[in-house]
C-alpha cells in the first residue's frame, strides 16, 4: 500500500519512524520546505508544494497513492483543505493526525481570539511587554499595535519587521515549564500570545503563564475542512487505521471473488 504523508510536524516525524519499521507499507513524506535545514526522515521524502488541489490530485494519481495522511500543523488550514479536496477527488481515504488542542484549566487567564489581527487588538492600548510564540509568518499582524515591546521566539528569521521595539529569540522546542517561567520572569513579560497548537512540546509556556498569573491571548484553530475525515492523535492510531483499511479491502476483494465464483 502506497501512503502519502503531508508532514512538517513532530507528529509526522514520529509517524515516519513507525512506518520505517513497516516494510509492508510504501510511504512517502512530503515537506513544505519552510524550514531551511529539515532533518532527513527515515522514509522516502519530497520537499515542496504541489500547486493546489489539482496538483496534489495529479500527484496522488501519478504515484498510485492508496491513502493520504494529513499530519500538517493544526494551523495549516489551506493545506488541510487541499488534502480533503484531493482525497475526495481521487476517492482515497484521508486520515488526519493532529495534536489534541489545549484546554483551559483553573487559574488560566485566556483571552480567546479567532486570528492574529484580533490578537493584536486584544493587547490593548497600554504598552506591555509581550511574548510572541506564533512562528514567523504572521508577526506582521502586530504592526497595528506598535506601542508594545515584543519578544519574538522563532526558529527561522522572520525578515524585516516594522515593529519599533522588539527582540528576536532563536530557539527550538521542546520547552519545559521551569525554563519558560524563568524566561518570562527575566524578560518581565506581561502577556503571552500563542496559537492553540496543542501537544506537550510547547505546553510549558502555558503552565508558566498560569503559575505567574499572566494573561494568555490564545488564537483558536481555524476550520480546516477535514472535520469529516478520520482524526487521530497518535502515530499508532494511524497505523491501526491503515491496517483496518487494508483488512476492509481484503474482505471486499474476497467477497467479490466469491460472488463471481472464482
* Digit-coded pLDDT (tens) for 56-85: 999 999 999 999 999 998 888 899 999 999
184-220 pLDDT, tens digit per residue, is 999 999 999 999 999 888 999 999 999 999 999 999 9
Residue 154 has phi, psi (to 5 degrees) of: -150, 160
pTM for this entry: 0.79
Residue 118 has phi, psi (to 5 degrees) of: -70, -35
Q: CATH second-level architecture of 2-100+224-259?
A: 3-Layer(aba) Sandwich (3.40)
Say which CATH topology domain 110-219 has: Rossmann fold (3.40.50)
Full 3-state SS string of 51-77: CHHHHHHHHHHHHCCCEEEECCCCCCH
pLDDT of residue 172: 86
The span from the CA of 199 to the CA of 218, in Å, is: 15
- CA nearest neighbour of 67 among 89, 94, 44: 94
Grid cell for residue 119:
490578537
Beta strands 110-113 and 216-219: pairing type? Answer: parallel
Give the angle subtended at the CA of 101 by the CAs of 210 and 106, to the nearest 5°.
Answer: 30
* Intrachain domains 2-100+224-259 and 110-219 with the same fold: yes
105-160 pLDDT, tens digit per residue, is 999 999 999 999 999 999 999 999 999 999 888 999 999 999 999 999 998 888 88
**Residue ranges of domains in the chain:** 2-100+224-259, 110-219
The span from the CA of 46 to the CA of 167, in Å, is: 34
Residue-by-residue DSSP string for 81-109: HHHHHHHHHHT--EEEE-PPPP---TT--
pLDDT of residue 262: 52
Specify burial of residue 200 (Cβ count, 10 A radius: 0-12, 13-18, 19+). exposed
pLDDT of residue 117: 97
Strand pairing partners for 2?
Answer: 26
Amino acid at each position: 500500500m502506497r501512503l502519502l504523508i503531508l508532514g512538517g510536524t513532530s507528529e509526522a516525524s514520529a509517524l515516519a519512524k513507525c512506518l520505517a519499521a513497516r516494510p509492508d507499507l510504501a510511504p512517502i513524506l512530503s515537506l513544505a520546505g519552510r524550514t531551511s535545514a529539515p532533518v532527513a526522515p527515515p522514509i522516502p521524502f519530497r520537499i515542496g508544494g504541489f500547486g493546489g488541489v489539482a496538483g496534489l490530485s495529479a500527484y496522488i494519481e501519478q504515484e498510485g497513492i492508496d491513502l493520504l495522511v494529513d499530519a500538517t500543523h493544526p494551523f495549516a488550514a489551506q493545506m488541510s483543505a487541499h488534502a480533503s479536496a484531493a482525497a475526495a477527488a481521487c476517492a482515497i481515504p484521508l486520515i488526519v493526525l493532529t495534536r489534541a488542542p489545549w484546554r483551559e484549566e483553573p487559574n488560566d487567564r485566556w483571552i480567546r481570539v479567532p486570528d492574529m489581527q484580533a490578537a493584536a487588538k486584544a493587547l490593548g492600548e497600554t504598552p506591555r511587554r509581550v511574548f510572541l510564540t506564533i512562528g514567523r509568518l504572521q508577526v506582521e499582524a502586530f504592526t497595528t499595535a506598535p506601542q508594545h515591546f515584543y519578544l519574538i521566539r522563532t526558529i527561522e528569521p522572520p525578515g524585516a519587521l516594522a515593529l519599533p521595539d522588539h527582540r528576536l529569540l532563536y530557539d527550538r522546542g521542546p520547552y519545559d515549564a521551569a525554563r519558560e517561567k524563568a524566561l518570562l520572569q527575566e524578560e518581565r513579560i506581561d502577556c503571552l500570545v500563542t496559537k492553540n497548537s496543542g501537544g506537550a512540546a510547547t505546553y510549558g509556556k502555558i503552565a508558566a503563564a498560569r503559575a505567574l498569573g499572566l494573561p494568555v491571548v490564545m488564537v483558536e484553530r481555524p476550520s480546516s475542512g477535514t472535520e469529516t475525515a478520520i482524526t487521530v492523535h497518535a502515530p499508532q492510531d494511524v497505523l491501526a487505521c491503515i491496517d483496518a483499511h487494508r483488512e476492509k479491502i481484503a474482505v471486499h476483494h474476497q467477497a467479490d471473488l466469491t460472488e463471481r465464483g472464482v
